[in-house]
Structure formats: C-alpha cells, structure tokens
Structure 1
Amino acid sequence: MSVDFIINAEPRSEQGKGASRRLRRTGRVPAVIYGAGREPELLSVEQRELLKLLTNDAFYSHMLTVKIGERAENAVLRDLQRHPFKPTIVHLDLQRVEAGSTINVHVPLHFINQENAPGVKDQGGVVNHHMVEIEISCLPDAIPDFIEVDIGALGLGQALHLSELVLPAGCSVYALSHGTHQDQAVVSIHAVRGAAEGESDVEGSSEGAASAE
C-alpha cells in the first residue's frame, strides 16, 4: 500500500550551532534541502511531526513531499542525525528529486521463509544477515518500500548474493550497476559454532575414556 509522506517545513535564516540549539528548544528540528541544480535552502520541521513520520519504516526510502509555504518539493531523505541519548532528532538532510531523473536510495530488506530454509529446518544452521538494506538506482516513482528476500531454498553453507535479488521493474543494485563493489553476500546459513565445538569435545572425552580403560 502506497503511503504519502508530507513534511511541513518553514524557512529559516539563522545558521550555526547557537541558532540550531535555540531552534531545538522551541520544539523544531533544523533541516536543509538541496540538489536538482539549485541552491541549498535552510528549513525547520516540527519535532513531534517528524518523530511520528519516522515510526513508518517506509519513510526512510520513500518519496517525500516537503511543503514550504505555498509551494511543494519532492525529496528523499539523505541523512538523519539523532541525539546520542535522547529520543529526538537534531538535524535532517533532504535531497530534491526531479521527475524523470534516476536517483539512488537505500531500501530496507525484508527476509522471508527463514524458518523453512533447508539449512535451518533440516540441517540445524542459523541465518546470518550480512546486509539489512541496499542502495538501488531507479526513477522517483518506482522507489519500493522494501526489497523482499526469499531464502526458503538456502541450504547449510549457502549464501544469497546481490545479483540474485529479485528487484521491482526499473530498479538496479547501485553497487553492481556502477561496479563499485563485488557481488557481495546478502544473507547466508552457517553451522552453529557452539554445537560443533561441543560435539568435538564429547568425542575427545569418549576417546580419552576408552584409552584409559
């Protein structure tokens, strides 16, 4: 189900640490929007409204509508800075998006059929998630909320790689299409180390007892 995310923002003229601290004391978050060949623009967003939007995981990779007065900008989230110990946001970075222009976004991975994978169900292995999100390239209106990763066929010692992911039409893995990384493993199934060591210890004890006899 498609969700519309609307950020109500206000322009701000002051910048610097002191100005940002004063702004946060009023319950607002300093933000900036940039890109699309235009100058960056300083904004502020209400803290409570932003925290409510962030409860939906799709917000991190979805197209956002940023309302600034009477006009609206399409944007994606580029960076989010959280307070080190308070449940608050201290800064927000947004990148403008133009229709028809390919963009790069990070999209979360949703793993399914983990308990039914032969490596887990029949061979006693455990699942190791090497990635929880990937960067993809696509048009703004093709951004998926998440990428589904089905590992129901994986056996013990096997892995699923970036090139094996099933992506929506019009999407590609940025690392592969731009040659920046190798075809990395996304998820794998391996043996439980503790169990293997335990079996080895038991066998050693049995052999020792037999020798003593």
Structure 2
Amino acid sequence: MSEYTLTASVRHDLGKGASRRLRRANEQVPAIIYGGEQAPQAIAVDKTIFYKSIEEEAFFSSLINLEVEGKSQQVVVRDLQRHPYKPLVTHADFMRVDATHEISMRVPLHVVGQDESTAIKEQDGEPHQLANDVEISCLPKDLPDYLEVNIAELEIGSTLHLSDIQVPAGVTLVELSHGEDHDQAIVNLTKAKEMQAEEDEEAEDTTEAGGNDQAEEGDKGDDEEEDNKE
C-alpha cells in the first residue's frame, strides 16, 4: 500500500466566493472531511503536495494521512470536483476511515503477463481490457493499490472474469457477493486480424446503411417531383 500525507487547515470562511479566493490567493484547495463519529469539517488542503499526489493512480485507492492543524487522521478520497476546462481541482471530498470497519473502494485493474503469453507473441493474439477498475471491500490495512489480472496463460478466444482475479487475503470483490450472474468479463483475447476484420465489416455496414438511406431519400424526392408535375 502506498502512503500519502497531506496537510490542511480548518476553513471558516465558506461559500463559492470564499473558495475562489482560497484557490487564488492562498494556493489551497477547498475540501471537506466527513464520516465516522465526528461531524463534517470544512478544510483547505495545501495545493502543491496535493496536486503532485493526484497525478499518481495509487493515490485514489490508498489511505491518506491528513494532518489538520497538527492533528492526524486517516482518510480516503471520495470525490474530486474539477474545473470544466482548466486543469484545476475546485473541491475535494475525503472520508474518514476506521481501522476496525471495512470500507468499499474502487481499485484499478492492471493487466500483466503479456510478455509471457504465447498467444500474443506467436499466435497474433490481442488482449482487450473490458473493465478498468473494480469495487472491493476490506479493512483499511488490507487496501491494495491495484489488482493484477494475469493473461499469460489465456488462449485466443478466451475470456477472464472477476472470479479469475487472485485477490489478497482479507479482500473481497463486491460484485461477486451479489451472485454468479455478476461475474462480469474483464479481459478477452482475440486474433488481431479477426478483430480488425470485424471492425471493417461493421464500418462497411454502417456506410452501406447510410448510402441506402440517402438513395431512398433521393427516390422519395424524385417521386414527389413527378407528383408535382402531374
């Protein structure tokens, strides 16, 4: 598990105008902490370390030590609100965690084993990742940065599902707890040429459909013109 530490101060001046002033003048990001037995608390997070942290994938699935005016508490990121077109975070939501209670988090899936795959190296196989992350449940101490999906032994035409993921001890996949029909596909392997042929065929069908529609519209126009002449 990766470790991150952020520093913050209590925010007393609230509202949109106050948040804008905070971001511009003080180089801080407005945020809130909630959860646990304590009341929600408005805070301002120091911008420099925060912006460096959000560049890393692991930050969003890790425990964060949040130091608010000298007092430390463990939190996870629950939401980031971003500016519609500028590379700015306008607000962050953090949730307190309790070491004795399980939490649900979405963690990324990392596909590995491509270099060892005979199907890829010798049979022109091409992997297709169907899910980028998955929801897990575990105690905070067991929270992984990501889960690996090993395709080294996957054959062409085969598919790996959630139940094929090797999860660490103490970690469960939330979807599988809902039944076998929630065992969704996450990676499949096809021949690269076959996939390209299917895509070309779909594109050709779309083009033909568009041409037929235009032809039908042209025929209708000709019929209407003849009717008007009559």
4+ aligned runs moved over 3 Å, structure 1 = 178-181, 195-198
Candidates 186, 193, 196, aligned match of 1:194: 196
Q: Per-residue displacement from partner, 1:173-192 (whole Å, max 9, x unpaired)?
A: 11112459710011111233
Q: Which residue pairs with 2:225 in the alignment?
A: none
* Aligned equivalents of 1:197, 1:181: Cα separation in 2: 28
Aligned counterparts, 1:12-27, within 5 A: 12-26=11-25, 27=27
* Aligned equivalents of 1:71, 1:148: Cα separation in 2: 35
SS of the residue 1:39 aligns to? coil
* Aligned equivalents of 1:180, 1:30: Cα separation in 2: 42
* Aligned equivalents of 2:2, 2:46: Cα separation in 1: 20
SS of the residue 2:148 aligns to? strand
* Aligned equivalents of 1:127, 1:139: Cα separation in 2: 32
Shift of 1:74: 0.8
* Aligned equivalents of 1:99, 1:194: Cα separation in 2: 49
Aligned counterparts, 1:28-43, within 5 A: 28-43=28-43
Q: Per-residue displacement from partner, 1:60-86 (whole Å, max 9, x unpaired)?
A: 111111111131111111112222332
Q: Tell me, yes or no, if structure 1 residue 149 matches structure 2 residue 152.
A: no
SS of the residue 1:50 aligns to? helix
Q: Which residue pairs with 2:122 in the alignment?
A: 122
Q: Tell me, yes or no, if structure 1 residue 161 matches structure 2 residue 193.
A: no
Instruction: Pick closer, same or farther for the CA change 1:24–1:181 going to 2, 3 Å.
Output: farther
Shift of 1:104: 0.7
SS of the residue 1:18 aligns to? helix
Matched-pair identity in %: 40
Aligned counterparts, 1:1-213, within 5 A: 2-26=1-25, 27-179=27-179, 182-192=182-192, 193-195=195-197
Q: What are structure 2's unaligned runs of at least 5 residues?
A: 201-230
SS of the residue 1:105 aligns to? strand
* Aligned equivalents of 2:148, 2:9: Cα separation in 1: 36
Shift of 1:28: 1.1
| TM-score, length-scaled by structure 2 | 0.78
Shift of 1:54: 2.0
The one-letter code sitting in structure 1 at the alignment partner of 2:19 is S
Q: What are structure 1's unaligned runs of at least 5 residues?
A: 199-213
The one-letter code sitting in structure 2 at the alignment partner of 1:98 is D
* Aligned equivalents of 1:176, 1:163: Cα separation in 2: 7
SS of the residue 2:40 aligns to? strand
| TM-score, length-scaled by structure 1 | 0.84
Shift of 1:111: 1.2
The one-letter code sitting in structure 2 at the alignment partner of 1:116 is E
Task: Report the more deviating stretch, 41-50 or 94-103.
Answer: 41-50
Shift of 1:119: 3.4
* Aligned equivalents of 1:71, 1:170: Cα separation in 2: 29
* Aligned equivalents of 1:38, 1:111: Cα separation in 2: 39
Shift of 1:123: 2.7
Task: Let me know the Cα RMSD of the aligned residues.
Answer: 2.2
Count of aligned positions: 198
